[in-house]
Structure formats: C-alpha cells, structure tokens
Amino acid sequence: MESPTEVRIIGAGLAGSEAAWQCARRGVAAELFEMRPLRTTPAHQTDAFAELVCSNSLKSESVNTAPWLLKEEMRQAGSRLLEIARETAVPAGHALAVDRAEFSRQVTESISREPLITIRRKEVTEVENDPTTITIIATGPLTSDALSREIARLCTTVSDKSQLYFYDSISPIVEADSIDMDKVYLAARYDKGSADYINCPMSRDEYDRFYDALLAAQSVEQKDWEKLNYFESCLPIEEIARRGRDTLRFGPMKPVGLKDPRTGRIPYAAVQLRQENLRADSYNLVGFQNHLKFGEQARVLSLIPGLENARFLRYGQIHRNTYINSPALLTPTLQMKAHPQVLFAGQICGVEGYVESIATGLMAGANAAALATGSQPEPPPRATAFGSLLHYITRAESRNFQPANITFDLLPALDRKVRDRKERHRLQCELALREFAEWLRPSALQPTSAAP
C-alpha cells in the first residue's frame, strides 16, 4: 500500500499540537511548523508548544455543563492535550485548571518524541495551494502578519471581499425571560419587515442618566499591543458617547421610525435587542459592543428600561483576534469550500477558548488524516457538543459572524419541552454522549493504528 500523504500543520499552539498528535495516532506523518522562538507573538512568553497565554483554566468539570460535555466527548475521542491537562491539573474547585508550565512542557515533550511528527521552527508565510498537499492552518488569534496577508488572499471570495478579521467586537447578550416585557415593545424600523426587534424606549431623563453613567464607567485596561484602531462602523459605545451627548441618538440608539404602539410616539432614544437564537431565549443589544469592565456593564446597562434585572449571558468585548468568516468559507469538516485540502483549526476557525481550540485541532487532525489516507471525513452528529460547535461555525449568519464558546445555546433543542433547566441540560448531555459514542464507532475518529 502507498504510504499516506504527509500533513503540514502551521502553528504548534493548542489546536496545532493536538492536530499533529491525531495525525500521528492514525499512522499519518505530520510536519509541524512553529515560528517561536525565532519570531514570537505579542502574548506568548516561551518557546513551548500549547502555551496558555492568559488564565490557566480549561473551564468547568461539573457534570452536565456544556464545557464538561465537550471535554467528555474529547476524552472519548482520545484528545492527547486533554489527557495531559488532567495529568497536570491543580486544585481549582469545579474547574479543570493546570500548572501551565508543566502542561506545555509535557505537550512539547510528547509531540517532540513522536517519530511521525517532524518539527520545523520557522515562520510560514505561504500556504501551498496544490491539491496534493494537505495543510492545517492553526496559527491562532495572533497569526503573524505575513501569514495573515496570505490567509486574507486565500480567503478572498468571488465578491472580492476578504473574509479574514482582525478583532472581535462583541455585543452583550441577555436572557429573554429576564427582560421586563411591560417596559419594551416589538417593532421594526418604519414598520419595514416583521416586528422582530425588542425596543427599549428612553425618555430624555432616562437617556441623560444612562449617558452620564456610561461616560463615567471604567474601561478594561488595554496592553499597548492590544490598542486597536477601531473601524468607524464598529466603535465601542463609550467611544461614540465621548464624541457628544447626542451622538448615540444618531447611532446605535437611534429612535427614528420606531413608533411605540402603546403611545403612538417615537421615543427620545431606543436600544434595540435582536433575537440571538432560534429558540428566542436570548437577545443581543444591537451595536452595543464596548470595552467596559464587566461589573460596570452590568451597572450601566441596567439603566436601560426593561433591562433593570437582565441576566447577562455574555458581556460586550472588543479584543484583538485573527479569525476567518467560517460560515462563508468552511465545511463542517473544517475544510475550505474552495480549497478542500486546506483545513482550519483553533481560534482562527471561529471558536473561542482553550478547550474549543483543542477540540477543533482534534477534529482537523482526524479529518486531515482521513483525507491523507484516501477517505472522506464526516462531521459528528448535530446533537453532540462537537457537532454543535462545528454547526455553529459553519452555519451561523455569515454577515455578523462572531467566534463562540461551547454553550447550551449552540446545542439543538430537545424534541420535547423540559422546563427545568438542570434536567434539560442533563437530557441534552445524555443524548449528545449517546450519539457521539455511536458515531465514534465506525467513524474517522477511530485511529487506524494504535497510539504510540
């Protein structure tokens, strides 16, 4: 039998290291490129693989939480990095936290010892685009500039629009049942289309109070390299507010065309909430990306009529992040639609977080190994955490695509209504694990050779 094609993996971070291991585990040789220490990123401090650049937490280990479910599926699928994380865990209550130095030391050692993985310490600036080379791009949120330019070229769609982004601007999300519906109303601007938006109307006094609180609120401190040149179309609300008392009323809080059906009048200002998911159990505050401390957001945003007791599922954020518009570019097997021999993994493919990055590395590695050995990779079932994450990054609305963590929001609803949230999550996990185990049995995730 012909020996399988080699897989090139760019970036030995969380995703790239796991991907290389998954290839080797299936008897497929991998060439793993890492630019550190020759060139480093603004956040990495060492030359070790899988360096955790900030917190040392791999999130909850509490049974029947969404991060636990994803880790449980990763364990079943043979994640090497998760195994090392558990071996290097430090006490952290219900979370899986690791000794970061020991974690990346063991990942580096484990990957370096593997005979089927060849390590190349160099910055990659070009992606081979011939059909016989399989490449996984796993260069993370701080991909080097030269490679970013190359990826931008690769990701330019027929409309000539590059689908590579350089920062996240995230609007806060609230739980639907925490909105005071007596104070808000449904309407579309100028009654165009269906009345899908929830509008929070403000009187002049309410607006002034909100405006003053916003200007006085504390922002997150930024490191020098994080300082962003904001696009005018995506300014944080506190920055818009600094430009004048009325600027917000001509921007994201514009009330024109939003007649309140209860009074027949247009309010002084309005905040619009847009449905976040099909279940309509969460809504995002349109255009409310901001850089305030989370506690400050809770305080200031609760001054919006209807949101006095809102429960926030996510706060607004703006941070540097290199990621592609996956819904426009990728299939659920993480292959590019236009170049199926090129796969993306880790933060750059539109997931957020350490565990999600390792998870997509695992999937991309297994899929690349399948391609290298002449099989067609298949995505995991939709009901699983893996399947839901991949479904989100490849099927979300591509116009406003934002990277995501694994949450129950991404999982499909059960086919019957279960009111109790804990019980609902327990049933979703039970279903996901059953379907994942069934899918694993004959799937590409089963290694063709024993782990070394």
Ligand X SMILES: Cc1cc2nc3c(=O)[nH]c(=O)nc-3n(C[C@H](O)[C@H](O)[C@H](O)COP(=O)(O)OP(=O)(O)OC[C@H]3O[C@@H](n4cnc5c(N)ncnc54)[C@H](O)[C@@H]3O)c2cc1C
> From the CB of residue 290, how many other CB atoms can be counted at a distance below 10 Å?
30
Does the protein bind ligand X through residue 284 (CB under 6 A)? no
Please state the closest distance from residue 132 (CB atom) to ligand X, in A: 21
Q: Choose the binding region for ligand X from 90-98, 331-339, 351-359, 439-447 (rule: CB under 6 A).
A: 351-359
Does the protein bind ligand X through residue 54 (CB under 6 A)? yes
Q: Choose the binding region for ligand X from 11-19, 178-186, 374-382, 444-452 (rule: CB under 6 A).
A: 11-19
CA separation, residue 407 to residues 58, 273, 276 (Å): 14, 20, 13
Does the protein bind ligand X through residue 365 (CB under 6 A)? no
Does the protein bind ligand X through residue 10 (CB under 6 A)? yes
Q: Choose the binding region for ligand X from 35-43, 209-217, 299-307, 380-388 (rule: CB under 6 A).
A: 35-43
Please state the closest distance from residue 97 (CB atom) to ligand X, in A: 11
Q: Choose the binding region for ligand X from 73-81, 182-190, 209-217, 350-358 (rule: CB under 6 A).
A: 350-358
Please state the closest distance from residue 129 (CB atom) to ligand X, in A: 16
User: Which segments of 396-449 does DSSP mark as H helices, in order?
Assistant: 421-440
Q: Out of 6, 27, 31, 43, name the contact with ligand X by CB under 6 A.
A: 43
Burial class (CB in 10 A: 0-12, 13-18, 19+), 443: middle
Does the protein bind ligand X through residue 269 (CB under 6 A)? no
CA separation, residue 400 to residues 171, 175, 187, 239 (Å): 11, 20, 21, 21
Give the DSSP per-residue string, 16-58. Answer: HHHHHHHHHHTT--EEEEE-TTTS--SS--SS-TT---S--EE
Please state the closest distance from residue 36 (CB atom) to ligand X, in A: 5
Does the protein bind ligand X through residue 140 (CB under 6 A)? yes
Does the protein bind ligand X through residue 143 (CB under 6 A)? yes
Does the protein bind ligand X through residue 403 (CB under 6 A)? no
Nearer to ligand X, 12 or 342 (CB): 12
Question: 146-185 mask for ligand X (x: CB under 6 A)?
Answer: -x--------------------------------------
φ, ψ for residue 126 (rounded to 5)?
-135, 145
Rounded CA-CA distance 50/38 in Å is 16
CA dihedral over 257, 258, 262, 268, signed as positive or negative: negative
Rounded CA-CA distance 156/207 in Å is 42
Please state the closest distance from residue 37 (CB atom) to ligand X, in A: 9
Q: Choose the binding region for ligand X from 30-38, 278-286, 298-306, 436-444 (rule: CB under 6 A).
A: 30-38
Rounded CA-CA distance 12/138 in Å is 8
At residue 219, what is the residue type? S
Q: Choose the binding region for ligand X from 29-37, 65-73, 246-254, 425-433 (rule: CB under 6 A).
A: 29-37
Give the helix/strand (H/E) hosting 370: helix 354-372
Q: Choose the binding region for ligand X from 40-48, 204-212, 288-296, 441-449 (rule: CB under 6 A).
A: 40-48
Does the protein bind ligand X through residue 41 (CB under 6 A)? yes
Nearer to ligand X, 141 or 387 (CB): 141
Give the DSSP per-residue string, 67-91. Answer: HHHHHHHHHHTT-HHHHHHHHTEE-
Rounded CA-CA distance 73/68 in Å is 9
- What angle do the packed helices 66-76 and 385-395 form, to 10 degrees? 110
Rounded CA-CA distance 292/218 in Å is 6
Does the protein bind ligand X through residue 22 (CB under 6 A)? no
| Pairing mode, strands 317-324 and 164-170 | antiparallel
Does the protein bind ligand X through residue 33 (CB under 6 A)? yes
Contacts with ligand X by CB under 6 A: the residue count is: 33
Q: Out of 88, 171, 325, 347, name the contact with ligand X by CB under 6 A.
A: 347
Does the protein bind ligand X through residue 198 (CB under 6 A)? no
**SS3 breakdown of the chain: % helix, strand, coil, rounded to 5?**
35, 20, 45
Which of 337, 316, 318 has the alpha carbon at shortest distance from 326?
337
Nearer to ligand X, 301 or 343 (CB): 343
Question: 87-126 mask for ligand X (x: CB under 6 A)?
Answer: ------------------------------------xx--
- Rg, the chain, Cα only: 23
Q: Which residues in this chain contact ligand X in the complex, by CB under 6 A?
A: 10-16, 33-36, 41, 43-44, 53-55, 123-124, 138-144, 147, 346-348, 353-354, 357
